[in-house]
Structure 1
């Protein structure tokens, strides 16, 4: 079943069937895919391309999806680890607002009690957890985007492209959070429970001893509640913002922009998407922090204890953190694609078939 899914995801023709006896065999295009860029069919060459031949892999191939996953590991692992100090203060504001009254006060109290090294608490589970999440998030997003577009057809993939982005990103994040949850549980314990554990190798056995496997996955549902809306906004808002920036802001077509100019657009679109991501997912993020701090509590109990005002504590540092984080993630991911000479289709355009149909109906 899984191999069948991958075959459909890559839109590959079945090469096992022989041509009719009286029919001249036609050369096959291996790994043919229809990209989300309307009117473009991308087929792999029969031989592996050399560096001078342009792209290093075929769009929609297993090689392509694997590289996308690796780009996700780099973009998420590096960026989340880089903002651990801000994330630590944000989590502490969420679970103990009486002690950590603001971002600056949170840094001050943490430095006074734990020293500069205290700001790096939780870096190991952050790095490993979000690297695993990035692998699934970006890699599977590309898989499901191609797979769903193949299911609904080229015209519908353009007309309903926002829904396509939302659906592909939601499905990818569902699996990404399963990979993230154990490390997220350890990270929050280290950061918000003084004296519990200072390192991952101490926190993991302790969580398992006290709560069993449930200790690693008890916050999975609120994690889905936080991360799935976040990721849906992250990918759909980014894709549409890039489209709008090239249409209304950038003074020349994308094809005439240099790689550096394209990466600037990527960063800007990523930051805009990040601001919306932070707002949409913040209440669930607060519940996750509170839930992992307190043993035996449920998501509903944590939300009731926090109250409406408490659910929005730490929003401003999270907007700064997530905005910067999302922009850097997209920048690193796109820069990785450039460095690896991966196919980078331009924003989608209306398919010729749809254009002709709308013209015939007088709607264009």
Structure 2
């Protein structure tokens, strides 16, 4: 392990360590997701109506010309939701990775570490999505209606709960799990394996590189992982957008999924994929860069490759 983790301060796998992971996740996810809101906005609208805009640029031009609309529509719900989600995802990942490794024992944890990464990230995301879902519902509902459904997070919360109760904020939870859990499993497991392979290719142990070099590896590994994430989770991402904008109050989630799929078909599940690859690759790369930079700044080792 890198000497970075041996500095006085936070002890590895202590309560403070997991709290630091949560803070790092919040810092990594809230601002980065918010920064790509213009891309996310056009992506969501094209997923719901593929004929709405001919391209991203045309979409932005149209939005900028439309009174009451903005290319940052939904940024408030995005920031709040993904801050909560990032805290839960990264904090619980660190916790479950250690816990599951201890459960199976060192020999099996080393031999089947990818399985540990997958189980830990799935468990973490399951919890994190419960915090994310209400704000994702507000975000998507606001972004996919013209003019926007709500003027703020509070306005969106009040309108949805007035019309559908608290349950209305969670109507997309199951599709969200189907999108986010595979996404996060790929994000964390492929990141860990990619970083491991990068260091093997470089031929030196992690401890021989400076913190800046290590975080550079984190960015590269994160970007590569993000490409895989985007592809794996895209069909569910389309369905989340569709359900949050089109689900009828009398329908179950299963009925809504069946009706929507019968309308858009298999091909429709891939609307907006190139944009999402660019968005998620960049997003994931910067998230790992920010997360590991935060860990290094407080005297903890970077993630992966140790």
How far off is 1:318 after superposition? 0.4
Q: CA RMSD in A?
A: 1.9
How far off is 1:300 after superposition? 2.8
The equivalences for 1:47-58 within 5 A come to 54-58=7-11
- Is the counterpart of residue 324 in structure 1 residue 277 in structure 2? no
How far off is 1:256 after superposition? 1.1
Which shows bigger deviation, 82-91 or 293-302?
293-302
Q: 1:212 maps to what in 2?
A: 165
How far off is 1:98 after superposition? 1.2
How far off is 1:96 after superposition? 1.1
The count of corresponding residues between Structure 1 and Structure 2 is 298
Look up the SS of the partner of 1:337 in the other structure: helix
Gaps of 5+ in 2: none
Q: 1:202 maps to what in 2?
A: 155
Match of 1:258 among 192, 210, 213: 210
Q: 1:17 maps to what in 2?
A: none
- Is the counterpart of residue 174 in structure 1 residue 126 in structure 2? yes
How far off is 1:155 after superposition? 0.6
How far off is 1:345 after superposition? 6.9
User: Quick one: distance in 2 between partners of 1:185 and 1:345?
Assistant: 31
How far off is 1:109 after superposition? 1.9
The equivalences for 1:44-83 within 5 A come to 54-83=7-36
- Is the counterpart of residue 137 in structure 1 residue 93 in structure 2? no
Match of 1:303 among 258, 261, 281: 261
How far off is 1:285 after superposition? 0.1
Match of 2:299 among 341, 347, 353: 341
Q: Deviations over 1:196-224 (max 9, x none)?
A: 22222221111011111221111100000
User: Quick one: distance in 2 between partners of 1:114 and 1:234?
Assistant: 38
Contact (CA 8 Å) 2:175, 2:239: kept in 1 or not?
Answer: yes
Change (3 A) 1:91 1:345: closer
Q: 1:8 maps to what in 2?
A: none
How far off is 1:189 after superposition? 1.0
Report the TM-score when normalising by structure 1: 0.78
Q: Deviations over 1:80-107 (max 9, x none)?
A: 0111111001001100111123222222
Look up the SS of the partner of 1:119 in the other structure: coil
User: Quick one: distance in 1 between partners of 2:115 and 2:258?
Assistant: 30
Larger Rg: 1
The equivalences for 1:1-364 within 5 A come to 54-114=7-67, 118-195=70-147, 196-248=149-201, 250-296=202-248, 298-344=256-302, 347-348=305-306
How far off is 1:346 after superposition? 6.0
